[in-house]
A and B are shown apart, each in its own frame.
Chain A
């Protein structure tokens, strides 16, 4: 900053003075994006909000006017099938987030502490499937898990189960939805944990062991606490998008494992009631925003560390 002030002071050419004096900065360059995002993002969200309180409607012959009827119906107390769907959905989401982080941690640990020279190649190896079509990966799993699918028919061929007698929990179940979500998140989630582990100073681990800690104690009391920001960031990276998931349940889920996103979708396609669907959509955003408020600071910290190493 001071350097810049000096160069400005010694400027003499009139053109340079003209350029520098008003110096409006270039912050105005963000204006196109602001206008664009306001119109394709913020305005639609406001409209969804208006639908949720019946100030707008697509139903013919229904008068508009402020009303919380749909909110009343959806929110407890009182039995509501969509509230149940929300609870199921959050349970699956939490389960998947915890398992994904637990499954990814050893991968990240291996990459940063064991696979020294080939780590970038190996990181790319596990990240690459994440960049292939999500929909196609879910379809690939459907081929594996289907009633006549690869896993069941392999069991029949091996004589482990009677022909035609498939494992009933293999597809259209909690298991299938969780497995497919877990599968798609693990590589991605390894990344923030890896970034944080890379920043752990190995001299600290050596110091801990010089002071008499075993490797396990070193891990529990030094490495794990130091990597916690990355672990929480990874957890949130799964938690937030999975809250609104609807593709995996659509293909491999059943009545018991349809998620909240499927409920929203159904109100805008099969049984159109945009006003009720908007209530669910606003609720979903509210939940995501609460999760962000709870965990957002960990994301910020992780991003800063990521930038420092990039």
Chain B
């Protein structure tokens, strides 16, 4: 007997879950369907099948350049914030850490400050320093906002590692760096990979900070997508490339989860 739900209750919950799952995927499916629609305007009836928006999107130099820019900033963010998060998390697992509460609050601060405020803050900072909008400023902003997520992924993993393994390596003559590299790091790899993926995703999708800090003519993908979605001539291309991006990220999320589960199982049995 199930104490949480009767048979009818289980059916109703299952039905609700199925409906919600459909609700979550319908807009994505509709976007994909209209990416293949032979019309500038996304309306019913469907005008017929075409792949011309995909051809147009992939031969649109501005769009591809924006995509490449976002990919570069995303990779740099993933590398930068994960590296910073590993170092920070190592420091935060220290037994004696002065101002632990303050440091934790500072690291988690970007989670609660609205992006729009961070964006205008960085804009004011650039102006105050006499600098112009630049992609490196976007990168710094992205590292800042993705770092707390990276720390929250890596820190619990480090906490579950038995400190005695590290101490044993040290007692056997390994220096702190070598003990870290050959003991701690390999055991943290799954968390590091998740952290890098999350950071890339955050950066690749980030609109608010980028919209204030990109220089004219150097739009990132979300900034280009936003302005494109308001330009009827460009919108079908946005839908075409958008459906590719959504499909790729759905596949990546699934893969990442499968890989993470498998790696965790292996580490658990090792």
A and B from one complex:
yes
User: What is A's interface to B at a CB cutoff of 8 Å?
Assistant: 1, 3-4, 7, 16, 19, 25-34, 36-38, 40-45, 47-48, 51, 56, 58, 103, 106-107, 109-111, 113-115, 120, 122, 124-129, 131-137, 139-144, 146, 148-150, 152-154, 156-157, 183, 186-187, 202, 205-206, 208-209, 215, 218-219, 223, 240-241, 243-244, 246-247, 250-251, 261, 264-265, 268-269, 274, 277-278, 281, 284-285, 288-289, 292, 307, 310
Contact B249 A132 (CB under 8 A): yes
Contact B106 A37 (CB under 8 A): yes
Contact B115 A244 (CB under 8 A): yes
**A137-B27, A284-B117 provided; 8 other pairs, C-beta below 8 A?**
A7-B171, A32-B84, A33-B85, A107-B20, A109-B4, A139-B225, A205-B4, A284-B116
- Check B42 for interface membership: any CB of A closer than 8 A: yes
Q: Which of B240-261 contact A (CB under 8 A)?
A: 242, 245-246, 249-250, 253-254, 257, 261
- Check B190 for interface membership: any CB of A closer than 8 A: no
Q: Please tell me which one of the listed residues B24, B43, B147, B242 contacts residue A148 in the complex, with CB atoms under 8 A apart.
A: B43
- Check B161 for interface membership: any CB of A closer than 8 A: no
23 contacts between A and B (CB under 8 A): A3-B164, A33-B87, A34-B106, A40-B140, A110-B13, A110-B16, A120-B261, A126-B24, A128-B254, A132-B28, A132-B253, A137-B28, A141-B27, A149-B42, A149-B43, A183-B23, A183-B27, A215-B4, A223-B4, A261-B116, A264-B116, A264-B120, A281-B121
Q: Closest CB-CB distance, A2 to chain B, in whole Å?
A: 13
- Check B263 for interface membership: any CB of A closer than 8 A: no
Contact A150 B112 (CB under 8 A): no
Contact A135 B207 (CB under 8 A): yes
Return the CB mask of B105-145 against A: 1 if under 8 Å, else 0. 01101101111111011111101100000000000110110
Contacts of A4 in B (CB 8 A): 167
Q: State the CA gap A28–B88 with chains docked (Å).
A: 9
- Check B61 for interface membership: any CB of A closer than 8 A: no
Q: Closest CB-CB distance, B4 to chain A, in whole Å?
A: 4
Q: Closest CB-CB distance, B155 to chain A, in whole Å?
A: 9
- Check B156 for interface membership: any CB of A closer than 8 A: yes
Q: Please tell me which one of the listed residues B28, B31, B120, B144 contacts residue A41 in the complex, with CB atoms under 8 A apart.
A: B144
Contact B24 A186 (CB under 8 A): yes
Contact B124 A274 (CB under 8 A): yes
Q: Closest CB-CB distance, B161 to chain A, in whole Å?
A: 13
What is the chain A residue whose CB lies nearest that of B4?
A113
Contacts of A107 in B (CB 8 A): 16-17, 20
Q: State the CA gap A71–B208 with chains docked (Å).
A: 25
Q: State the CA gap A243–B48 with chains docked (Å).
A: 42
What is the chain B residue whose CB lies nearest that of A281?
B117
Q: State the CA gap A183–B25 with chains docked (Å).
A: 10
Contacts of B170 in A (CB 8 A): 16, 19
Given A40-B122, A281-B116, A281-B120; A148-B41 close (CB under 8 Å): yes
Contact B117 A285 (CB under 8 A): yes
Contacts of A110 in B (CB 8 A): 13-14, 16-17
Contact A114 B14 (CB under 8 A): yes
Contacts of B106 in A (CB 8 A): 34, 37-38, 41-42
Q: State the CA gap A307–B160 with chains docked (Å).
A: 10
Contact A41 B110 (CB under 8 A): yes
Contact B121 A144 (CB under 8 A): no
Contacts of A37 in B (CB 8 A): 106-107, 109-110, 144, 147
What is the chain A residue whose CB lies nearest that of B159?
A307
Q: State the CA gap A1–B44 with chains docked (Å).
A: 69
Contacts of A127 in B (CB 8 A): 253
Q: Please tell me which one of the listed residues A26, A114, A129, A150 contacts residue B28 in the complex, with CB atoms under 8 A apart.
A: A129
Contact A136 B20 (CB under 8 A): no
Q: State the CA gap A253–B22 with chains docked (Å).
A: 24
Contacts of A278 in B (CB 8 A): 120, 124
Q: State the CA gap A277–B121 with chains docked (Å).
A: 11
What is the chain A residue whose CB lies nearest that of B241?
A136
Contact B91 A30 (CB under 8 A): yes
